Every structure is written in C-alpha cells, then in structure tokens.
Amino acid sequence: MYINGNWQEAQSGKKLTLTSPTDSSIIAVVTKGDVEDARLAITAAKIAFQPGSVWRKTSEEQRSKLFLRTAELMEERIELFANAESECNGRHLRETRNDAMSAAGLFRYYAGILGQVTGSTFNMSDGITSMTMLEPVGVVGGITPWNYPLMIACGIIAPALAAGNTVVLKPASNTPLTSILLFEVLDAVGFPEGVVNLVLGGGDVGEEIVRSFDVDMVMFIGGTETGRRIMQAASNNVKRVALELGGKSPVIVFDDCNLEATVDHVLMGIFLSSGQVCTAGSRIIVQEEIYDEFVNRVAERASKIRVGRYDDVSAQIGPLASEAHLKNVMAYIETGIDEGARLVTGGKQFKTEALANGYFLEPTVFADVRNSMKIA
C-alpha cells in the first residue's frame, strides 16, 4: 500500500492471493489492509490538506506540470498497465490497452483545464454584488470496482487532485494491480506526502473511508445496494457523495431499422467486456413485426462469438471476472429457464481443453422474457 508517501505492508501482516479468471492460476500476492491502515491513510490525507501545507501552496501551474508528467509516465507503461488489468479481470488486451491510454488522457485533460475554472459574480439589488468562489472539498475517498479499475481510479484521482483535494483510494480487492502501478507513477512524479494514498483490503476498509468524519467526500462506482449503504453512512457528517451505480439499460428496436447494423450494435452493447459493464444493453425491446427475425439473427450471431484468453488475438470476449461472478450469472440463467423465458443460445459454461480452468461462459440470449421475470 502507499500511505503518506511510503510503500508499506498492512499492519496486520495479512495477505491476499489474486487468481486469474483466465486459468485460475495465482498471479500475485498483495498485502491486505484493514481499518487501522485506512485510518492512517485518512490522517495522512487530512494533514496534507491543512492550510499552509506543501500541497495547498502548490500552484495550478505546478499541479498541471505534475499531471502532464503523470500522463507521460503512464503512456510509457501502457503494455504493463494493460497486461496487469487483463490478468486480474480477464478483459481482452485490446480493451485494456485502450483504457490505459484513456486513463493517461484524463491527466492530460485536467492539466489543460487547471486555472480555467472560476466562480461567478452577480449584481443583486441595492448595489449589492454576490460572488461565488470554488474551493477544494478536502479529503476525497475513492472506491473503485473490478471491471474498469484503472480508468475509474484515474477518473476519481485526476479531478480530485486538479481541484486541490487529497485522496484515499481503495480498489476492488481482486483487481488492485493497476492501482499499485498507478501509484508507482504518482510516487515517481513527486506528489507531496499524504496527497495520494492507496489502501488495499476488503469491505471494512471501504466502510471506514465512508464513515470517517475526516473524509469530506466519497466517490463510488459499483452496485446499487452498496451505493445505498454509502449514502446512509455518509450522512453522519453530511459528506458529499458521487455515485455511479448499476442499471438495466434497454435497447429499443423499431421495424424501420437497418437490421444488420442494429444487430452489430446490440451484440457490442451487451458482450463488450463479457457483459460486465454498468451501461450494458442487457434488455432488448423489439417491435412485434420483426421480433422473430431479430431474435433469430441475434442468437445466430451470438452463437458465433469467439471466446478465448485476453491475449488471444482471435478472441472476441474473455472470461467473467471471478468464480463467484460466474456462479452468480449461472444462477440467473437457471432462474430465467425456471420462470419460463426461452433460452435461444448459450447458457452453459464454456470449456475447451485450453480453457478448462477459466471462468468462461457461452454468450447467452433469452427471448420471450416478461418484465415480471427476475432476469428482466
């Protein structure tokens, strides 16, 4: 972990073993922090934000230079970032490589707008002038998910630091490697001690970040139920929250569509990253006149999607991110069948001799689904 400008093990000495969703092999062993480690990081971030600190005296021009250097070092390590993320969550290298470039681009973007964000002035009645000023919030806690860990970590850290805040980041416990690599870059760039902090661990670390009176804002991307609990916990000191939670995004198809193009977009919309995207088009509502033809075309194309490893250039989708997630999705498939939905393709774990130990699932499509069904 990275706390107050230093790399350190968890105080408890506990470790966490990371396994590959591609073949179940061990890919890394990392330290596993707990509440005490989170408190150390929060304290460091709070001290670094105090008036008169090095960070508070760092000008927008200096921050911009730090950001540009961060982007440069990230771009030099694109393949390292991409491979680490693919090993952790199984997403194909073509996706994680693009994400790593976009993540570096976030630091370039915020470097460019530093100094351009201003308040407003309003003329009120009786010669009174009202002025708004924008100031940093304070300590920002960031909790990231396992599907896009690098991109979302940068999407939290870059704007928070650009505004002059300090940060405590907790990545998902099964995908911390790109966050570690990111903090190696931030360390090399030379951000002042305590400005950026990385705490690894489970839900107890995240809960401490959310409940702490010394954390002024929490940014969380993940499940809706967890988001609700964060909102409740954040009320103890009325801290700000920024939540981006799960959804069920519908695709609506009318009979005047370009059928082939629509099928292409529908398949991309749900099978990108093996469907593990909060904006995935997981429901398709089709005009009755073309319903049967559309179902048949989607099922036919989905059945031909090439499943494989993240480093297989011919593969189109990879595994699900963990054994637990695979079991969860399989349970939904069984529920859909039990409730009377029509399974038109897929529905089983995908296994070949080369992929026998991974968490692969056949691309799966149901038809004749009613809104009352759980899978809807």
Residue 166 CB-half CA count within 13 A: 31
Residue in 60, 72, 207, 278 annotated catalytic? 278
Cα 283 from Cα 242, distance rounded (Å): 26
- 365's CB contacts (< 8 A; 6+ apart) are 295, 298, 299, 302, 343, 344, 345, 346
Which of 63, 77, 10 lies closest to 39 in space, CA to CA?
Answer: 10
Active site residue 154: no
- 327's CB contacts (< 8 A; 6+ apart) are none
Cα 32 from Cα 38, distance rounded (Å): 11
Token pair 């130990």: residue: 357
Q: What is the full DSSP assignment across 56-80?
A: TT--HHHHHHHHHHHHHHHHHTHHH
Token pair 């700000």: residue: 240
Which of 102, 85, 142, 81 lies closest to 276 in space, CA to CA?
Answer: 85
E strands present in 171-249: 196-198, 217-222, 240-245
Residue in 244, 323, 339, 362 annotated catalytic? 244
Cα 87 from Cα 25, distance rounded (Å): 10
Burial of residue 274 (CB within 10 Å: 0-12, 13-18, 19+) is buried
Active site residue 208: no
Cα 307 from Cα 298, distance rounded (Å): 17
Cα 237 from Cα 234, distance rounded (Å): 6
Tell me which H or E stretch contains 253: strand 250-253
- Note whether 302 and 267 are within 8 A (CB): yes
- Around Cβ 208, how many Cβ atoms within 10 Å? 24
Token pair 């399989």: residue: 330
Tell me the catalytic residues.
244, 278
